[in-house]
Chain A
Amino acid sequence: MRIEKDLVAATATPLVLGILIDGDLYGYAILKRVGELSGGSMQWTDGMLYPLLHRLERLGYVTSRWSSSEAGRRRKHYTITDLGREQLAERQEQWTVVVEALRQVWQADPRPPAAAAAWA
């Protein structure tokens, strides 16, 4: 299943901040983690992650530092800040409300009629 582009964009910030809560990571590792968490169904355009990370850095949600990788290359690591944690907490609350609302709607009417017909 492919997740729609707009939904991926909307979830990107909380997802990245949430991943960084567990510890510092560099871009490629963040994307790999996204892939693992979604079972490969959240496909990002890899290049788009970096402008996002830079935006989060400008907003003060993450900081970055360069270090060298095992292979001896320079690599940029990102760390979440206190402001980022606050932001994440806020986003979590928002998402909880959204998910709860969706769950209630779908419990009342589990599947759209067209989908139900297709299954029958």
Chain B
Amino acid sequence: MGFDSDLETQIDLWRGYVLRRQAIATIDAEELEDHLRDQVDDLLATGLDHDEAFLVAIKRLGNLDAVSREFAEEHSDRLWKQLVIVRDDGDDTRTPAWRELAMVLGLALGTGLAVKAGLSWLEGSGGLIRNVGLLVFPFLAAYFGWKRRLTAPVAAALLVSFAALAVLLNVYPFAVDGSTALLAGLHAPVVLWILVGVAYIGGRWRSDARRMDFVRFTGELAIYYTLLALGGAVLVGLTVAVLTAVGVDPEPVLAGWILPIAVPGALVVAAWLVEAKQNVVENIAPVLTRVFTPLTIMMLLAVLAVVATAGGLNAVDRDLLILMDAILVLVQCLLLYSLSARDSLARPGLFDSLQLVLVVVAIAVDAVMLTAMLARITEFGFSPNKIAALGINLLVLVHLVRAAWLTVGFLRGRRPFSALERWQTRFLPAYGVWALVVIMIFPLVFRFA
């Protein structure tokens, strides 16, 4: 049945009003509009006039704020752009933009100076690599702590954790150039990043959806940081060229001050940009993952072929194993990031099959590596490096195998996509626990060698 033009105008206005809610997507607005029109039809049939029917139908649909909050609860990924779950108390509690900018620049400068100070104090002692994360990540956590208005217990827990880690990394009598020292340095950022995550999600670390938000944030941060680094490199390159041309040597200032401050500082700025401008990158994320998933599959297959034909597994040397570990971690990140960029209600499609291929190939690579590692361990005995690598590989294997299983279930329509998402986010703390074991227990077991 056609409505009169007045009613159509009213429905148009209503639609515009609904669409302004970030939590209600266009497609949901269409569903609600279909509902509204059915309701109006039925009310007209009972003898109401157009205005009355429209008003009653709107009323039955409910308070739009409440409905939109309900949508927000269900589709928190949409609100991620906007960051705050629709606040009850309106917008008057938001901090002015200039204050946030000042905070960000202050923290960026803070971390830059901290790194600069660390460079001068710890130079050559081998302690820098263990501590560099501690000089950067707490500033990032501080920004989110301030932004999310962390409760006192959460903030205190974070502070204590950072302090405990700092004590641990510096009180242990690590042997200079020992492998446990290096391992602790390599694993510290994992633990630190998880602490940043706790600050990012405002202490609600039990929520799977919030954890996924943090995964999404991590991916976007990597993109923004790369963009900033590229821009910065061009700028520095041009300046250096000009200064050298006029006979001034920029090297002391550049290496002594600008890089040590700008490189860590840019991380805080990148985090702020991700916070402020999510809409821009959100359109890039799915594209990037779609481009890189097939490419990564090809890379893994090539690696697999080369390793398999390069002679016996015993010939696989240590550096190669470490490189392959790095590749697997990268694959894991790509997988997580593409999951976080995916619409969880979309039907299984070609890309999901492609992702399954990626997971299966990664499992194959991991299996080859585990075999090579076990071969090395039986031949040369245990060492901290080998156990650390073995641990990471086993974790990745468990993570991937279960993910493959759940993806198959999803592709065959037996399981919802959320089961896969849940597994991915729930497994993440396991990496943190393992990193903590490497930092805390390994030095004791291996006598700080």
Interface residues of A (CB under 8 A from B): 26-28, 31, 45-48, 50-51, 54-55, 57-60, 69, 71, 73-76, 81-83
Contacts and interface: CB of A to CB of B under 8 A. Distances in A.
| Majority SS at the chain B contact face | helix
B350 to A, nearest CB: 19
A73 B28 contact: no
B379 interface: no
B418 A59 contact: yes
Contact of A60 (B32, B37, B64, B415): B415
A58 B66 CA distance: 21
A50 B418 contact: no
A60 B414 CA distance: 8
B38 interface: yes
Contact of A51 (B38, B74, B344): B74
A46 B345 CA distance: 22
B35 A59 contact: no
Contacts of A59: 416, 418
A29 B414 CA distance: 27
A58 B418 contact: yes
A54 B417 CA distance: 13
5 tightest CB-CB pairs across the interface, nearest first? Answer: A60-B416, A45-B62, A47-B67, A47-B62, A51-B70
B94 interface: no
A34 to B, nearest CB: 13
Contacts of B30: 74
Contact of A50 (B31, B73, B414): B31
A45 B345 CA distance: 24
B141 to A, nearest CB: 31
Contacts of B62: 45-48
Contacts of B385: none
20 contacts: A27-B35, A45-B60, A45-B66, A46-B60, A46-B61, A46-B62, A47-B61, A47-B67, A47-B70, A48-B62, A48-B66, A48-B67, A48-B70, A51-B73, A54-B28, A54-B74, A58-B345, A60-B415, A69-B34, A83-B416
A54 B61 contact: no
B22 interface: no
Contacts of A46: 35, 39, 60-62
Given A46-B61, A75-B34, A83-B416, A54 B66 contact: no
B102 interface: no
Interface in B416-436: 416-419
Contacts of A31: 35
A78 to B, nearest CB: 10
Contact of B39 (A28, A71, A73): A28
Contacts of B45: none
A82 B413 CA distance: 10
B34 A76 contact: yes
Contact of B416 (A58, A69, A75): A58
Contact of B75 (A54, A69, A71): A54
Contacts of A54: 28, 71, 74-75, 345
Interface string B393-413: 000000000000000000001
A70 B199 CA distance: 52
B1 to A, nearest CB: 7
Contacts of B416: 58-60, 83
A99 B389 CA distance: 56
A44 to B, nearest CB: 9
A22 B37 CA distance: 24
A82 to B, nearest CB: 8
A45 B34 contact: no
Given A54-B74, A55-B74, A74 B345 contact: no
Interface string B63-96: 1101100110111000000000000000000000
Nearest to B415: A60
A74 B74 contact: no
Given A45-B67, A48-B62, A60-B418, 20 more contacts: A45-B62, A45-B66, A46-B60, A46-B61, A47-B66, A47-B70, A48-B66, A48-B70, A50-B35, A51-B67, A51-B73, A54-B28, A58-B74, A58-B345, A71-B1, A73-B34, A74-B34, A75-B34, A76-B31, A76-B34
